[in-house]
Structure 1
Amino acid sequence: MVTGAGGGIGSAVCRTLAAAGARVAAVDRGEKALRELREGYGAQDGPPPAEYLADVTYPAAAEAVLDQVEAELGPVHALVNVAGILRTGAALSCPTEDWSALLAVNATGVLLWSQAAARRMVGRRGDVIVTVASNAVGVPRAGMAAYTASKAAAAAFTLGLGLEVAEFGVRCNVVCPGSTDTPMLAAMGPDAMAAAIREPAVEGFAFEVAQEVTAEYEPADHLPRFFAAAAVGIEEQLSSPEHGVLIATRVVLRRARADTFGSHELAFKIAGYLAARKALECTRPVTASCRSR
């Protein structure tokens, strides 16, 4: 069962599970979102999911939908809490309506559906609950204090629940993705997108240590090709008027894959920071440093 199944991350989770052979129950509050999810399925995605219309903030909805799903499809062995909303704004002027809405969907929704699923799972062993939170939980961002708080609450509840149901063989995990190019993020507009991807400047530290540790995992002759490919891709992305340098860099790095260069995962991350750093340098006015690298 996947909540928020009609969104960008939710739909990707549904397809991934279906392609792996799972029978998926897709839950979303929007009929249009579920229809688009169904229509977007290809042959490679496996069978389209069973669709269930529900608002995750309604206390009775979780029990009712789980009863229906188990009657129609059988026991729910995995729940993925993806349903969420994003609202940005300064902490000092955050409207109470935004605060309440964020907590209702992002935190209370996780509580209600996780409780309903876990009550059924404790009688079986090997079931799992996964909550999609955000890396903003561990990396504070300006303009996202309320959103971060709601995701932190969801993460903390899921991990606490995991400790309590572990003895029954139920696993609870939290996934914290970074800013993801989804319709929800795009709908916030360019300013909100910029706020969402604003993170502390850690690339400087990565750049300082990368030269020493990358060699242990990555053949040195692969790095120039990685840089060159990243620079070309970023230049292409910058042709889009809505893409600033940071967004363009992240788009390119998200599209890259570790197996492109046979890279170890850690080496890929390090090379990604190097590529981002170099791209940022070289999209500014050309300097001797850029010309020489």
Structure 2
Amino acid sequence: MSNVALVSGGTRGIGAAVARALAAEGRRVAVTYHGDEAAAARFKQEAGIPVYRWDVADESACRAGIEQVEADLGPVSILVNNAGITRDGMFHRMTWDQWRAVLSTNLDSMFAMTRVVIEGMRERRFGRIVNISSINGQKGQVGQTNYSAAKAGVIGFTKALALENASRGVTVNAVCPGYVNTDMVAAVAEEVRAGIVAGIPLGRLGDVEEIAQAVCYLTSEKAAFCTGSVLTINGGQYIANG
């Protein structure tokens, strides 16, 4: 059975933590990145995990990139769709480019990445797909109609794909992180960050490793009976129904 895991947006933040955790469990891991060459080089040197550059919103780039990963490492049996961007702004001022950029990278990528690997997983009767959504895809957020719409779409995509592929041994689940201690959150003004933490019942930001361990569980044999699930990890900031 193939033991290859592919993590999109895997050189920083949650993606990097997921890649490291999967590698620590003995997976053969590859990660993608798009823009930050310095971060990718640093991650590759520190983690010893191969990195591949392509745009996850580009269907042909995803196909070519994944074909190269499989030629190098073997068939992908674990896919973690983590890549995402924000282009925040109030909707009445939001541009079409802001809308399309976020929907393309955060939602169109679900099709572009998953479509390439799903047939192989079905044929081998084994696959683990984990899609990273967000607390704001569950509850919405001011200034993020584009991001919230995309991340809500990830949840619907997850549930439908899980139903289609359960009989073929392929599980599909989503993780919805709340506010996590990443570079993006660290860049927020201190007073804003303090306000965020004040709204989290556990009284702190999440750690990337906490999200990574949840992904590790969902990709393991121990989670074979778990599909179509949405795992909320947000310190109690938002408690979803079901």
TM-score, length of structure 1 as denominator length: 0.64
Query: In the alignment, residue 204 of structure 2 is paired with which amino acid?
Result: L
Would you say 1:247 and 2:192 are equivalent positions? Answer: no
Residue in structure 2 matched with residue 122 of structure 1 by the alignment: 122
**Match of 1:24, SS?**
strand
Q: In 2, distance between residues paired with 1:248 and 1:142?
A: 17
Q: Is the 8 A contact 1:86 1:184 kept in 2?
A: no
Tell me how far apart the structure 2 counterparts of residues 255 and 93 of structure 1 sit (CA, whole Å). 31
Aligned partners of 2:203 and 2:40: how far apart in 1?
29
Can you list the C-alpha shifts for 1:27-71, whole angstroms capped at 9, x where unaligned? 111332211212343xxxxxx212111111111112112211111
Structure of larger gyration radius: 1
In the TM superposition, residue 249 of structure 1 has moved relative to its aligned partner by 7.3
Task: State the aligned residue count.
Answer: 204
If the length of structure 2 is used for normalisation, what is the TM-score?
0.76
Consecutive unaligned residues in structure 2, runs of 5 or more: 1-5, 211-234, 237-242
- The residue number in structure 2 matching 1:7 is 12
Aligned residue number for residue 25 of structure 1 = 30
The superposition leaves residues 263-285 of structure 1 with CA deviations (integer Å, 9 ceiling, x where unpaired) of xxxxxxxxx77xxxxxxxxxxxx
| In structure 2, distance between residues paired with 1:243 and 1:118 | 39
- CA deviations on 1:245-277 (whole Å, 9 max, x unpaired) are 54367595346999xxxxxxxxxxxxx77xxxx
Task: Provide the rounded CA distance (Å) in 1 between the counterparts of 2:39 and 2:120.
Answer: 28
| Partner residue, 2:55 | 55
Tell whether 2:75 aligns with 1:75. yes
Displacement of 1:183:
1.7
Seen in structure 2, the aligned counterparts of structure 1 residues 105 and 6 have a Cα distance that, compared at 3 Å, is: same
Q: Which blocks of at least 5 consecutive residues in structure 1 are unaligned?
A: 42-47, 191-239, 259-271, 274-293
* Aligned residue number for residue 40 of structure 2: 34
SS at match of 1:21: coil
**RMSD, aligned CA:** 2.5
1:109 partner letter:
S
Deviation at 1:144, TM superposition (A): 1.6
Q: Report the AA paired with residue 35 of structure 1.
A: A
* SS of equivalent to 2:204: helix
For 1:221-260, what aligned pairs fall within 5 Å after superposition?
243-247=193-197, 253-254=204-205
Which residue is 1:88 aligned to?
88
CA distance in 2 between partners of 1:70 and 1:123 (Å):
15
Letter matched to residue 4 of structure 1: G
The residue that corresponds to 2:162 in the other structure is 162
Higher relative contact order (CA 8 A, sep 6+): 2
Q: Distance in 1 between matches of 2:18 and 2:57?
A: 21
8 Å contact kept, 1:111–1:154: no
